[in-house]
Amino acid sequence: MKDIARRAGVSESAVSFALNDRPGVSDITRDRVRRVAEQLGWRPSTAARALSGEGAATVGLVVARPAGTLGVDSFFLQLISGIQEVLAERQLGLLFQVVEDVTAECAVYRRWWAEHRVDGVLVVDPRTDDPRPELLAELGLPAVVTGGVPDTERPQRPGLSTVWADDAGAMASVVGHLHALGHRRVVHIAGLPGLAHTERRMRTLRAEADRRGLTEVRSVTTDYSDAEGAAVTRRVLGADAPPTALVYDNDVMAVAGVAAAASLGFAVPDDVSVVAWEDSALCRMVHPWLTALSRDTVSFGRTAARELLGLLDDGPAGTVQVPLPRLIERESTRAVRTT
């Protein structure tokens, strides 16, 4: 900037004003400065900007998943794609970190904020008894929790937005679909027990089952891995009065489940129907094609990022709901066989 100032024959302050579209310089000077800057290939130093109070021009994303569990499903990369799209508009960076558990995640938030590394964060995988909203509020770190059930009990915290999908409604549509097909014995192979959406899906399943008078409907939690998905499948299908329908909390387990079922002699959908939560290429790569709940993860990411940008502009914290996932009926669900 000193160079620019010299070459343009003005002071550094004038350069700063000119380059940041702030009043205080004439249009003619502004243009001159801009041209010189352009010519010199000047780019603002984020460090210096950050130091003089402008913020770090970066948002953070940390995902806490045990070592192996990551990378099986495509959820995160898609979410990130969406986030990036929005961040790119303002040339904001995305600081990304993978950690083992929520405790480590909290430590990262503390560190990032103390080090002025980020202006805000995106929080994924909300949990029951989640320590993170508390912490973020305490720190005053702007954040948007994505995937969370809106917290109706507690007051909306300033600087903490929520973007959520209606897991309850989606689960209701799944149960409705299966019930209509005549299924009475259903097992829901759920994801990680501590996650808010897992609990919500399980609660809704129970509620819907009760409402419809279905007694043989239950959930089993897993770690989302193909291994556990297959193991649970074998276990429940091996029992007396095996279920006629299985609902998997992700695509990977669903696919693994179909294979496991086959190995036990259960054909899909003839002997057992299968629904996958989360549609992806996977669901159309196996035979039969899987009936799946489809949501637009990329746009989920976009929405979350946009919400965070709002917060960074001192906008109000809000709660926005993304569209209800649609149930795509394919080949893996069918009316229950009448013996």
Those residues with Cβ within 8 angstroms of residue 251's Cβ, 6 or more apart along the chain or in another chain:
73, 276, 277, 278, 279, 280, 282, 283, 290, 292
**Cis peptide upstream of residue 288 (ω within 30 degrees of 0):** yes
Contact partner at residue 22 from its own copies, DNA, none, CB < 5 to 8 Å by partner kind: DNA
- Give the Cα-Cα-Cα angle 50, 56, 60 (nearest 5 degrees): 160
- DSSP secondary structure string for all residues of 132-151: HHHHHHHHT--EEEESPPP-
Measured from the CB of residue 115, what is the shortest distance to its own copies in angstroms? 5
Is 25 or 59 the residue whose CB approaches DNA more closely?
25
Site map (CB under 7 A) of DNA, residues 18-57, x = contact: -xx-xxxxxxxx------------xxxx-xxx-xxxx---
Span of 9-17, 166-174, 217-225, 228-236 interacting with DNA by CB under 7 A = 9-17
Q: Phi and psi (nearest 5°) for 99?
A: -130, 175
Which stretch of DSSP H or E encloses residue 38? helix 27-40
Contact partner at residue 274 from DNA, its own copies, none, CB < 5 to 8 Å by partner kind: none
Measured from the CB of residue 160, what is the shortest distance to DNA in angstroms? 24
Is 23 or 213 the residue whose CB approaches DNA more closely?
23
Beta strands 291-294 and 326-328, pairing class: antiparallel
Q: Is 16 in the site for DNA (CB under 7 A)?
A: yes
Measured from the CB of residue 24, what is the shortest distance to DNA in angstroms? 4
Which stretch of DSSP H or E encloses residue 292? strand 291-294
Measured from the CB of residue 7, what is the shortest distance to DNA in angstroms? 12
Binding site for its own copies (CB under 8 A): 41, 43-48, 50-51, 56, 58, 67, 70-72, 74, 76-78, 80-81, 84, 91, 93-98, 111, 114-117, 225-227, 252, 255-256, 259, 262-263, 281-282, 284-287
Contact partner at residue 84 from DNA, its own copies, none, CB < 5 to 8 Å by partner kind: its own copies
Measured from the CB of residue 317, what is the shortest distance to its own copies in angstroms? 26
Measured from the CB of residue 60, what is the shortest distance to DNA in angstroms? 19
Q: Phi and psi (nearest 5°) for 221?
A: -90, 155
Contact partner at residue 236 from its own copies, DNA, none, CB < 5 to 8 Å by partner kind: none
Asked if 170 and 157 touch (Cβ cutoff 8 Å), the reply is: no
Measured from the CB of residue 107, what is the shortest distance to DNA in angstroms? 18
What is the torsional sign of CA 104, 109, 113, 118?
A: positive
Measured from the CB of residue 57, what is the shortest distance to its own copies in angstroms? 8
Is 2 or 154 the residue whose CB approaches DNA more closely?
2
What is the torsional sign of CA 303, 309, 311, 314?
A: negative
Contact partner at residue 16 from its own copies, DNA, none, CB < 5 to 8 Å by partner kind: DNA
Q: Of 32, 54, 35, whose CA–CA distance to 45 is shortest?
A: 54
Is 95 or 181 the residue whose CB approaches its own copies more closely?
95
Helices marked H in 140-195 — which ranges? Answer: 167-180
Q: Is 11 in the site for DNA (CB under 7 A)?
A: yes
121-180 binders of DNA (CB under 7 A): none
Q: Of 65, 327, 62, 63, whose CA–CA distance to 192 is shortest?
A: 65
Tell me how long the chain is. 339
Binding site for DNA (CB under 7 A): 1-2, 9-14, 16-17, 19-20, 22-29, 42-45, 47-49, 51-54
